[in-house]
C-alpha cells in the first residue's frame, strides 16, 4: 500500500506525517507545489521535500544513502566499499550509473545493505535476530540525524512487514503445532491437482487420527494432550519430505499430501512409518504415554479427481482402520461407502438401544483347573436389534467407545452383572466372582471409584465377588493414575485382572507395580499354541511370569482338548472358552449351576 508524506500546515520545517493512500478521499491542487490531501476527517498538505522521498518510496526498494542520493536498491549491481561507489544496472563499468562518490557515506551504505539482507526472507542472510542486534548497534553508533531517520524508516517498515507476515502465517498455520492448517492444505491440494492434470502424475492423501486420544485429554487434561500433539507434530515435520505437506486438520486429526508419487505402494510405505513415529512413548511429567493411529489412504486419480472426494474417501478409509481396532492403515475401497452409511445407521440405533432395552448380558464361565469347577464368569454384552438380529460386539463396541456411549452402556453392564450375581447367591448357589470389562473411557471417569462403590452398595454384592477387567493398553495410559485407582479398588476388596495380556506395551516391572489378581492371556496366543512354537513359548513365559508374581493366570479362548492339555501341563490356573461353554444367557447359566457342570481334567 502506497505511503504519502504530508504536513498539517504546508510550512517548511513542519512535522512530517505519513498516511496510507487508502485513507485519502481526494486531492486538490491549489497552486504550483501546493497540493491539499483530504481524508474523511482531516486535510493535509503534500510534502515535496527530498528527505521524505525515501519513506514515500520505501516499499518500492528506495533507500537514502546520503543527503543527496536516494537509490533504488533493486538495481544495485555492485558496491565498491573502498571507493564508496554504488554501481547501478550496467555490466560495463564505463557505462554504469553511479551514486556520487564524493557524498556517499560508506559505512551507511554497508549498514543499509546488511539491514536489508538480514530482514529479507528471500535472502540467504535472512536472520531476524541478527537484524535486531545490528539495528541496535547501528543506532547507538550513529550521530547523523538524517541517517538515523533513514535507519528508523527501515526499522518501521520492516516491523510492519513482519507483523503482516505473521498475520498471513497465522491464517495458514495451526496455532498449537505450527503445522499448515486446513486452509493451507486445501490451497496446496488445488495446486497439486493442476500439476497432476498437466503431467498425468499420481498423488495420495493420508488421513489419520490418534486412537483413544480422548482418554488422555479427559484424564490428564487438555494441556497434556496439547503437549503430545506438539511433540508428534515435530516428528511429522522431520518425517514428511519437502515436496509433500503435512497439516493438522483439527483435534487429533492429521492429513498428509504425497505429491507426484511413483506408485500406489509409496503411500502404504509412508503409512507404515507413522506407527514407528509413535512406537516410543511420549514422556510428560515423568509419565509414559503410548498412542497408536488409525490411518486411511485415498489415491488420485483412482479414488477421486477433486479435493472433496479425495478427502472424504481418505476419511472413510481411516474409519475402517478404526473399526478394525486401530493401529493400522487401509486403502479406500468403494465398498466402504456402504459401510460408512451403515456406520451412521449403527450409531443412530446404538444411541436408542439402551432405552429400548435391546441390550442383554451373557455370561461365560471361568473354570479352575485344579478341580474343574466353575468359580466365576465374565459378563459380556449382547445387542439384539429388532430388525438386524444380534449385532456383533466387535462392530458396536468400538463405535460406542468412539462416541462416548460406552460410559452409560458399560455402567449398565456393571450394574446388571452385580444384580444378577447377587440374585444367584440369594437362590442358594455358591458365591461366584463376576468379571466385568471396563473400557478406557469408563476407567478414567472422574468418579469411577465412587461409581463402583455405589453400585456395590446399591446391589448388595460383596466387593470380593466383583472383578474388573482392564486391557493392557488401558493400563499403560497414565500409569500413575492407573496405579492409584487400582489401589483404591483393592482396598475396597474388588479384584482386578489384566485382559489381552501380551498384545501391547506392558513390561514385567509395570505388571509388578499394578499388583493385579489375575493375568488373562489373550486368545490370539492360545489359538495356535499347539502348533506354533513362538506362541507356545510366549504362553509358557506368561504363565511362568504370573507364577513368579504370585498372581493367577487365566487363558481365554480355549476351544480344544489339545489346548487345554497344553495349559494344564504348563501350570495355568484357570481357563474360559468353548471347550467348556460358550457365552450363554443368565437363564442358561443358572442351569449350569443347578447341574453343577464340571470340566473333566485328566
| Per-residue model confidence as pLDDT tens digits over 551-582 | 999 999 999 999 999 999 999 999 999 999 99
Q: E strand or H helix at 218, and its extent?
A: helix 213-220
Contact present, 498 and 472 (Cβ < 8 Å): yes
Percent of the chain with pLDDT over 90: 41
| Per-residue model confidence as pLDDT tens digits over 481-522 | 888 889 999 999 999 998 866 555 455 666 777 788 999 998
Q: How far apart are CA 44 and CA 497, in angstroms?
A: 83
Contact present, 148 and 139 (Cβ < 8 Å): yes
CA proximity to 64, closest of 78, 49, 77 = 49
| Per-residue model confidence as pLDDT tens digits over 366-402 | 999 999 999 999 999 999 999 899 999 988 998 888 8
Cut 0.85: pTM above it: no
User: What integer pLDDT is reported at residue 47 of this predicted model?
Assistant: 74
Q: How far apart are CA 269 and CA 236, in angstroms?
A: 15
User: What integer pLDDT is reported at residue 509 of this predicted model?
Assistant: 61
The CATH homologous superfamily for domain 345-595 is EAL domain (3.20.20.450)
Q: Among the listed ranges 89-93, 150-154, 221-225, 495-499, which one has the minimum average pLDDT value?
A: 89-93
Q: How far apart are CA 85 and CA 458, in angstroms?
A: 94
What is the arithmetic mean of pLDDT over 234-261?
Answer: 93
CA proximity to 296, closest of 206, 236, 365, 225 = 206
Which grid cell sits at 388?
Answer: 438386524
**CB proximity list for 565: less than 8 A, separation 6 or greater:** none
Model confidence at 8, in pLDDT bands (50, 70, 90)?
confident
User: What integer pLDDT is reported at residue 355 of this predicted model?
Assistant: 86
Where on the phi/psi map is residue 158: left (φ > 0), alpha (ψ -120 to 50), or beta? alpha
Per domain, the residue ranges of the chain are: 1-48, 66-171, 182-333, 345-595
Whether pLDDT at 14 is above 80: no
Q: Rounded to the nearest 10 degrees, what angle do helices 561-570 and 533-549 cross at?
A: 40
Highest mean pLDDT range out of 251-265, 331-345, 496-510? 251-265
Which grid cell sits at 151?
Answer: 535507519
User: What integer pLDDT is reported at residue 438 of this predicted model?
Assistant: 92
**CB proximity list for 361: less than 8 A, separation 6 or greater:** 379, 380, 381, 382, 413, 416, 417, 420, 586
Q: Rounded to the nearest 10 degrees, what angle do helices 307-323 and 182-199 cross at?
A: 110
Query: Cell 519437502, residue?
Result: 242
Q: Among the listed ranges 119-123, 172-176, 213-217, which one has the minimum average pLDDT value?
A: 119-123
Contact present, 216 and 477 (Cβ < 8 Å): yes
Measured from the Cβ of residue 397, the count of other Cβ atoms closer than 10 Å reads 20
In degrees, to the nearest 5, what angle opens at C-alpha 178 toward C-alphas 132 and 235? 115
For the chain, how many residues are written?
602
| Per-residue model confidence as pLDDT tens digits over 523-545 | 889 998 998 899 899 999 999 98
Q: Among the listed ranges 22-36, 57-71, 105-119, 315-329, which one has the minimum average pLDDT value?
A: 57-71
What is the arithmetic mean of pLDDT over 327-346?
Answer: 81
Contact present, 38 and 25 (Cβ < 8 Å): yes
What is the arithmetic mean of pLDDT over 277-287?
Answer: 82
Q: How far apart are CA 80 and CA 344, in angstroms?
A: 73
Pick one of 2.40.50.100, 3.30.70.270, 3.30.300.20, 3.40.50.1000 as the CATH number of 182-333.
3.30.70.270
| Per-residue model confidence as pLDDT tens digits over 400-411 | 888 888 999 999
Q: Which residues is 283 bridged to in the sheet?
A: 288
Q: How far apart are CA 396 and CA 402, in angstroms?
A: 10
User: What integer pLDDT is reported at residue 106 of this predicted model?
Assistant: 66
Question: For 532-535, which contacts have Cβ atoms below 8 Å and span 24 or more sequence positions?
Answer: none
Whether pLDDT at 307 is above 60: yes
Q: Among the listed ranges 13-22, 377-386, 449-458, 567-576, which one has the minimum average pLDDT value?
A: 13-22
Q: Show the 3-state SS of 445-476.
A: CCCHHHHHHHHHHHHCCCHHHEEEEEEHHHHC
Q: Among the listed ranges 27-36, 104-113, 585-594, which one has the minimum average pLDDT value?
A: 104-113
DSSP 354-407: TTTT-EEEEEEEEEETTT-BEEEEEEEEEEEETTTEEEPHHHHHHHHHHHTTHH
Amino acid at each position: 500500500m502506497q505511503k504519502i508524506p504530508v504536513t498539517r500546515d504546508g510550512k517548511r520545517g513542519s512535522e512530517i506525517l505519513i498516511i496510507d493512500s487508502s485513507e485519502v478521499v481526494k486531492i486538490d491542487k491549489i497552486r504550483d507545489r501546493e497540493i491539499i490531501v483530504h481524508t474523511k476527517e482531516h486535510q493535509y498538505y503534500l510534502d515535496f521535500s527530498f528527505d521524505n522521498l525515501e519513506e514515500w518510496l520505501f516499499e518500492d526498494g528506495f533507500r537514502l544513502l546520503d543527503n543527496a542520493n536516494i537509490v533504488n536498491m533493486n538495481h544495485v549491481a555492485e558496491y565498491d566499499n573502498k571507493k564508496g561507489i554504488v554501481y547501478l544496472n550496467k555490466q560495463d563499468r564505463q557505462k554504469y550509473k553511479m551514486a556520487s562518490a564524493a557524498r556517499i557515506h560508506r559505512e551507511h551504505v554497508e549498514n543499509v545493505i546488511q539491514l536489508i539482507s538480514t530482514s529479507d526472507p528471500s535472502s540467504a542472510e535472512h536472520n531476524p535476530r541478527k537484524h535486531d542486534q545490528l539495528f541496535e548497534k547501528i543506532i547507538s553508533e550513529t550521530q547523523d540525524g538524517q541517517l538515523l531517520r533513514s535507519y528508523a524508516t527501515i526499522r518501521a517498515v520492516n516491523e510492519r512487514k513482519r507483523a503482516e507476515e505473521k498475520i498471513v502465517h497465522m491464517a495458514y498455520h495451526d496455532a498449537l503445532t505450527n503445522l499448515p492448517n486446513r486452509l493451507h492444505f486445501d490451497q496446496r491440494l488445488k495446486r497439486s491437482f493442476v500439476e497432476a492434470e498437466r503431467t498425468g502424475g499420481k498423488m495420495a492423501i493420508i488421513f489419520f487420527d490418534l486412537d483413544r486420544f480422548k482418554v488422555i485429554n479427559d484424564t490428564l487434561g487438555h494441556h497434556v494432550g496439547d503437549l503430545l500433539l506438539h511433540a508428534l507434530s515435530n516428528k511429522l515435520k522431520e518425517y514428511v519430505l519437502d515436496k509433500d505437506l503435512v497439516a493438522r486438520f483439527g483435534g487429533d486429526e492429521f492429513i498428509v499430501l504425497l505429491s507426484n508419487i511413483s506408485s500406489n505402494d509409496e503411500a502404504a510405505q509412508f503409512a507404515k512409518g507413522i506407527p514407528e513415529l509413535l512406537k516410543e512413548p511420549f514422556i510428560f511429567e515423568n509419565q509414559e504415554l503410548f498412542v497408536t493411529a488409525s490411518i486411511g489412504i485415498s489415491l488420485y486419480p483412482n479414488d477421486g479427481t477433486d479435493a472433496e472426494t479425495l478427502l472424504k474417501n481418505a476419511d472413510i478409509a481411516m474409519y475402517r482402520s478404526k473399526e478394525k481396532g486401530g493401529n493400522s492403515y487401509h486403502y479406500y475401497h468403494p465398498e466402504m461407502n456402504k459401510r460408512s452409511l451403515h456406520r451412521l445407521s449403527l450409531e443412530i440405533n446404538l444411541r436408542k438401544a439402551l432405552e429400548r432395552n435391546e441390550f442383554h448380558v451373557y455370561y461365560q464361565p471361568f473354570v479352575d483347573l485344579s478341580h474343574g469347577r466353575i468359580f466365576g464368569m465374565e459378563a459380556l454384552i449382547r445387542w439384539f436389534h429388532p430388525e438386524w438380529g444380534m449385532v456383533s460386539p466387535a462392530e458396536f463396541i468400538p463405535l460406542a467407545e468412539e462416541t462416548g456411549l460406552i460410559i452409560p452402556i458399560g455402567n449398565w453392564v456393571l450394574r446388571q452383572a452385580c444384580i444378577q450375581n447377587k440374585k444367584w447367591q440369594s437362590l442358594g448357589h455358591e458365591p461366584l466372582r463376576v468379571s466385568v470389562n471396563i473400557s478406557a473411557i469408563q476407567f478414567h471417569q472422574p468418579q469411577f471409584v465412587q461409581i463402583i462403590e455405589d453400585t456395590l452398595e446399591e446391589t448388595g454384592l460383596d466387593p470380593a465377588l466383583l472383578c474388573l477387567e482392564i486391557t493392557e493398553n488401558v493400563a499403560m495410559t497414565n500409569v500413575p493414575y492407573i496405579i492409584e485407582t487400582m489401589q483404591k479398588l483393592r482396598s475396597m476388596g474388588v479384584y482386578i485382572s489384566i485382559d489381552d495380556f501380551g498384545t501391547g506395551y506392558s513390561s514385567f516391572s509395570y505388571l509388578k507395580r499394578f499388583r493385579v489378581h489375575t493375568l488373562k492371556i489373550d486368545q490370539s496366543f492360545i489359538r495356535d499354541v499347539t502348533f506354533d512354537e513362538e506362541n507356545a513359548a510366549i504362553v509358557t513365559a506368561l504363565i511362568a511370569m504370573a507364577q513368579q508374581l504370585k498372581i493367577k493366570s487365566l487363558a481365554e479362548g480355549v476351544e480344544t482338548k489339545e489346548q487345554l492339555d497344553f495349559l494344564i501341563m504348563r501350570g495355568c490356573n484357570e481357563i474360559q472358552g468353548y471347550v467348556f461353554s460358550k457365552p450363554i444367557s443368565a437363564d442358561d447359566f443358572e442351569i449350569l449351576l443347578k447341574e453343577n457342570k464340571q470340566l473333566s481334567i485328566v
